[in-house]
Each structure stands twice: as C-alpha cells, then as structure tokens.
Amino acid sequence: MNQEMKIPQHIAIIMDGNGRWAKQRGKDRSEGHFAGMMALRATVKAAAEIGVKYLTVYAFSTENWGRPQAELDALMELVCTGVEMNTPELCQEGVRVEIIGDRSRFSQKVNDALDRITGKTAQGERMTLALALNYSSRSEITHAMQQLAQKVANGELQPQDIDEQAISQSLYTASMPDPDLIIRTSGECRLSNFMMWQASYSEFYFTDVLWPDFGAEALEEAIKAYNERDRRYGLVK
Ligand code: IPE
Ligand code: IPE
Ligand code: MG
C-alpha cells in the first residue's frame, strides 16, 4: 500500500452476502458462513498489517435470531470453531478481541468460547478486533439509557449531566473511537441496525463483493476510496 495513504483508525464492517455466495455455488448457507469466517481471518490479518487500530465486524444481529434453527445452530457452532481455529494466530498477531452486544442469550458453550478468545488475546496491542454478536444499535442505545436512568435514580448523576460523552461512554463501544469508515459488502446499502450513534460522521463504502470473497485486496480498495473523501464535519474549508 502507498506510503502516503491515510489509514482509518477504526474500520467497521457489515459482513454480508454469505448466503448468496453459497447459493451461487449450490452449497448450504452454513458453508457460506464458514467461508465468511475464513474471509474474516484474512481481513483481520490485512487490517493489522496495514496499521488499522480498531476493526469492528457485525457478525450476528439481534434480528438474525429469526433465521431457521438449522442455520442458527450452524452459526453458533461456527463461533466455537472460529475461536479454536483463530485464537493462536490472533495472539501471535497482537490482536485483542472484544465482544460487543448482549451475550446473555448465548449458550454456556458459546460464552465459554468467547471468554477463551477474549482472555487469551487480552494482551494484544497491535489492533483491537470487536466482534458484534447479538448486537443491534437500538438495543445498545436502550441498554445505555437504562444504565443512565439507573444512575439518576441512585442520585449518582444529574439529568443535565447526560451529555453526548455520557451516552458514548454507556455504549458497548465506550473504549473505542467512532468508526472512520463503514464498509458493507454484497451490494446492500443499509445499516441494518448497526452503530447508528457511532456512525454520525463515518464515511460509508458499499461494494458488490460478497463477504466470503473479501480480503486484503478488497480492503485496500476500500481504503483507497476513503482517501478520496473530504471529511468536512459540517465546516467550510
Ligand atoms: C451475513 O451473510 C452473515 C450473517 C448475517 C450472519 P447473510 O447470511 O446475511 O448472507 P445473505 O445476505 O443471505 O447473502
Ligand atoms: C446484517 O446483515 C447483519 C450482519 C451482517 C450480521 P443481514 O443480512 O442480517 O441484514 P438485512 O436482512 O440484509 O438487513
Ligand atoms: Mg444478509
């Protein structure tokens, strides 16, 4: 990659198109999800090498629970397989894994796997990988509002002290800067309940590439497009 290139500090990706990728090949949707996991592995490696500091990926939404049980079972199994397959490499690469979303709906087995990956990678300093699991922006904001209301009820916080910073600090993403660039694959141009608060000034990049075909090259294309953008934040230059 060109030395002059501005590298987004935080990239967030809506990884979409696994099902269509599988369908095009006459395969089961679960095979698309497995291929998607391999694409994530390649993308994480590339992002860390390029110098991205935070990579957030939307892996499972609160709405995705409405999918057929067989697909849900395959996805939950894939979380466990993904942890086993990738934890050593993530440790080696200095990638720290965080989970954003409501973990309470996952089985003990899935939660144990998530504890393993976050525990074993906790020392990683090169890049933070945030996996959005049972995540949705509306549930995240609702949860944050409940926490703030509780603090007010306890007398720990005055209503007038609920400012933008207090809200940001109550979201799952409290420890991360807002995403500079949001990528969505598979040609869909919507947020699907992802990071609505954090995306206020993000740049959006939509590509027709299906998620299992994404990787280092497609990431580089997205960063090139980001470099053409003029981020004005409402000001006059
Ligand atoms: C994204 O791929 C992965 C998840 C939402 C879990 P999809 O499964 O949504 O793939 P398409 O959109 O049906 O092709
Ligand atoms: C968004 O993709 C959620 C994830 C990528 C995890 P979906 O495929 O679930 O979203 P819609 O149905 O196209 O809005
Ligand atoms: Mg989809």
Q: For residue range 58-98, list pLDDT tens digits in order.
A: 999 999 999 999 999 999 999 999 999 999 999 999 999 99
Instruction: Report d(CA 74, CA 36) in Å as an integer.
Output: 13
Question: Is residue 86 in contact with ligand 2, taking CB distance under 6 Å?
Answer: no
Atom of ligand 2 nearest to the CA of 188: 13
Q: Which two tokens stand for residue 73?
A: 């079972």
pLDDT of amino acid 183: 99
Please say if 64 is a catalytic residue. yes
Tell me the average pLDDT across 207-222.
98
Q: What HEC string does 91-138 produce?
A: HHCCEEEEEECCHHHCCHHHHHHHHHHHHHCCCCCCEEEEEEEEECHH
pLDDT of amino acid 60: 98
Ligand 1, residues 13, 15, 18, 134: which to mutate, most atoms within 8 A of Cβ? 18
Q: For residue range 223-234, list pLDDT tens digits in order.
A: 999 999 999 999
Q: Is 82 exposed, middle or buried (0-12, 13-18, 19+ CB in 10 A)?
A: buried
Question: Is residue 58 in contact with ligand 2, taking CB distance under 6 Å?
Answer: yes
Q: Per-residue confidence at 216, pLDDT binned at 50, 70, 90?
A: very high
CA of 16 to the centre of ligand 1 (A): 5
Q: Is 233 exposed, middle or buried (0-12, 13-18, 19+ CB in 10 A)?
A: exposed
CA of 32 to the centre of ligand 1 (A): 8
CA of 157 to the centre of ligand 3 (A): 40
CA of 16 to the centre of ligand 3 (A): 5
Q: Check pLDDT > 80 for residue 10.
A: yes
Question: Is residue 179 in contact with ligand 1, taking CB distance under 6 Å?
Answer: no
pTM of the model: 0.98
Question: 């003029």: which residue's tokens?
Answer: 230
CA of 165 to the centre of ligand 3 (A): 32
Instruction: Report d(CA 32, CA 16) in Å as an integer.
Output: 10
List the one residue out of 151, 143, 138, 146 whose CA is nearest residue 197: 138
Question: 């509002």: which residue's tokens?
Answer: 145
Atom of ligand 2 nearest to the CA of 58: 6
The Cα-based distances of 141 to 65, 172, 194, 208, 229 in angstroms read 19, 9, 11, 30, 29
Q: For residue range 151-209, list pLDDT tens digits in order.
A: 999 999 999 999 999 999 999 999 999 999 999 999 999 999 999 999 999 999 999 99
List the one residue out of 229, 43, 29 whose CA is nearest residue 131: 43
- Going by alpha carbons, the residue nearest to atom 12 of ligand 2 is 192
Q: Is 55 helix (H, G, I), strand (E, B) or coil?
A: strand
Calculate the average pLDDT of the chain: 98
Atom of ligand 2 nearest to the CA of 60: 6
Please say if 111 is a catalytic residue. no
Question: Is residue 20 in contact with ligand 1, taking CB distance under 6 Å?
Answer: yes
Instruction: Report d(CA 52, CA 223) in Å as an integer.
Output: 10
Question: 């393993």: which residue's tokens?
Answer: 116
The catalytic position among 28, 64, 102, 213 is 64
